[in-house]
Structures are given as C-alpha cells and as structure tokens.
Structure 1
C-alpha cells in the first residue's frame, strides 16, 4: 500500500436518522468582482456555513468560490455518487452574464444557495470529502482532488482545520484565482478592450461598492413588493 493511501476518499459515515436531528445552515452572499490581471475579471461569492452536525469538523466557516468551481463540485459529486443520487441543478450558465447586472447576480446567488441547501440535506453526499473541502477550505479544485485522493502531505481534516475562520465581508476573504482565461463569469468587455480594462482597474473599488449598494436596494425593493402583495 502506497504512503497516503489510508487517506484516500475520506468518508464521514453518519446514519440518516442522526443527520435529520442536526442542522446545517448555508448562505451564499457578498459577491465581489476579482481581477486576475489587466485582461480578466470574474465574480466570486462568500459561502458561510453554520452547523451542529457531527459530519463537519468545523461548525462555522466562510470561504469564497466562483461559479466555475460550483460546476466542478456538481460534476465531482455526480461521479463520486455513482448515479445513486439525483443532484439538484445549478443556475444555468449564461454567456451574457454581466458583472454589473445586479438582477443577474442576485438570481445566481439564490440559485447557488438552493443548490447547496439541497446537497447538504443528503446523507450520502455529506460523506464526500470533496464537498467538505469545497465548503470549508480555500484549496483550489486541483488541490481538493489531490487531497481527497490522498496525494497530499496533509489529510482532509487537516486541510479544513488549517483554513482559519475568515471575517465575513473583510478584505481577507478575497481568494485570487490563477486562471488566465475568460469563463462564463467574466465581463466580456474587459476581455476585449484593453483601454476599458486599464480604466476599470483604477475604479474597481468604487464599482464594487456601488454594485453591492445596488444589490442591497434591489433586495429591499423585492422584499417590499413581496410584503405588499400579501
């Protein structure tokens, strides 16, 4: 047996009856525009988790993930579950997704949160170490796969413990991605026009703040409309 094999496919075996007695709360919030370089931008989201479940080593955590990482997670869970579970859908990939469109961002966040909420209700999926690393460590997807397969010098539990609790809505939450290509989260105008890219870099902080204010206003208006219709 090769060294590290004992950590392969770490499982957290818990009966459905025990799982149902415990609570797992998850939120997807705080969208932020991130810059890879002068040419590429994307948006990531904060995943906040609180639980009393024995399935989780850490009871409170916060990490940042982008849409493409959610896509990877769904594919990985589907492969690991061997078609034994019907996985919920993610919000659809939108080639026209805009980093400045508050409505699109709100819809995507809601869809990502619903996806995680359904995932976390399934005891079989809760045994998947890739899910735990996705939710409670800031490892890249490549590192998650390596750790879950026992190809790292640290275990799944060690990776989770080493990921300190981040302060929500702080600059420390920003996780830089090393990707150098545009994906569905990228702002296409930034990918094409270097002048816009350089100019956008200078005003990035104010744009992000304005976007968050816009999203907050939209959410308040949606809440008012909902309460007024009842």
Structure 2
C-alpha cells in the first residue's frame, strides 16, 4: 500500500494578544496512512513565527544532512488586512510543509510531530523533546485538542481525555470544564477531516 501524507494550510485568522498586538495563525490539517504517524488525522493552529522556529529546529536536528526548503520571506510591510499577502504566505507555508514531509529523516523528528499534531507551544515542544516534561511525545500528540497548553497542568488534565489513537481531536470526549485558554474566534462552522 502506498503511503500518503496530505497536509493543508488554511483558514487564516487574526488573533489579538491585546489592543495593540495581533497576529495571524493558520490551521494545519494532516491526513495520512504513513507509518511515521501514529495519529492519522489532526488539526492544529500555528503562526508564522512558529514555522520559522520549526525550520531552524529541523535544520539543526538534521545536522545539515538535509537542505530544507525556504519559508515564504518575512515581509516588513506585511499587513494582517491584506488578503493577497495572507493568501501568498499561506500557500508558501503549505509548500514548505509538503516539501519537508517528503524527507524520511525529517519525518523521524519529534519536533515535527509535536508541531503538526499537538497544541504545545514551541517552548513546551522543546521541553517535551528534551524529556523535561512528565508527558511523552506520544501522550502530547494523542491528547491534542484545538487549544494551547499554557501549563503542564493543562496538558495533564487533557491527558485524561480518552481518545482513539486514530481519531481526530473532535471525536474525543470534551473535558467537563471549559478553560479560558480556548482559542479566540473558534467557530462552530469549522470543517472536520473525515
């Protein structure tokens, strides 16, 4: 059977840190039958600066054995309200992911799996990969939902949510309590992968 890894970068959304600071994040959808992934479908949201971190981390981890593709360039005049600039960046991010997912060496990197299939921040990804958390890479991937973990307690609480290893996070039981860390602008009309 041929192994397939399909990835989409879509649904750009403006997220506000506060009145003066905002950024755009993008939904990354992954669907695969590849043996490299234990979770076959996932959805996460990432921003451009996290892609920059991922590229730097993958390049360092591959010890220059793989030349990674470039990300869309950082534009000092990038506007959150310019639909063409946002669309161009989104396409560039998708092309970047499509190209790196062709490399078996890159596919074996835990940072990539946590980036694509968990809601951990980059600092939490680094801590998890370094073994400085009480949860493993596999536990972080399997407990992912569409939210950010701001503390280890958040992740531990969500690890108690039972998920089938091949299920999408939307098929997991929701925790009884809602956390104020839920993503802003989460809409009920989000498409689900099948």
TM-score between the two structures when normalised by the length of structure 1: 0.64
Supply the distance in 2 between the matched residues of 1:43 and 1:146 (Cα, whole angstroms). 25
1:99 aligns with 2:99: no
Residue from 78, 82, 87 that aligns with 2:68: 87
1:119 aligns with 2:93: no
1:55 aligns with 2:36: yes
SS in 2 for 1:45: strand
Q: Return the structure number with greater helix share.
A: 1
Residue from 129, 137, 154 that aligns with 2:135: 154
Question: If you compute each CA radius of gyration, which structure gives the higher value, 1 or 2?
Answer: 1
1:73 aligns with 2:54: yes
SS in 2 for 1:44: strand
Q: 1:166 Cα shift?
A: 4.7
Residue from 104, 116, 121 that aligns with 1:135: 116
**Structure 1 portions without partners, runs of 5+:** 1-17, 177-204, 206-230
Supply the distance in 1 between the matched residues of 2:121 and 2:106 (Cα, whole angstroms). 20
Supply the distance in 2 between the matched residues of 1:127 and 1:150 (Cα, whole angstroms). 17
SS in 2 for 1:157: helix
SS in 1 for 2:35: coil
**Structure 2 portions without partners, runs of 5+:** 146-167, 171-178, 186-194
> Is the contact between residue 55 and residue 126 of structure 1 (CA under 8 Å) also seen in structure 2?
yes
Supply the distance in 2 between the matched residues of 1:102 and 1:86 (Cα, whole angstroms). 31
Q: Cα–Cα, structure 1 residues 175 and 78, in superposed 2: closer, same or farther, change >3 Å?
A: farther
Matched residue, 2:188: none
Supply the distance in 2 between the matched residues of 1:40 and 1:106 (Cα, whole angstroms). 21
Supply the distance in 2 between the matched residues of 1:166 and 1:105 (Cα, whole angstroms). 27
Q: Higher RCO, 1 or 2 (CA under 8 Å, sep at least 6)? A: 1
> Is the contact between residue 146 and residue 152 of structure 1 (CA under 8 Å) also seen in structure 2?
yes
> Is the contact between residue 58 and residue 160 of structure 1 (CA under 8 Å) also seen in structure 2?
yes
SS in 1 for 2:39: coil
TM-score between the two structures when normalised by the length of structure 2: 0.76
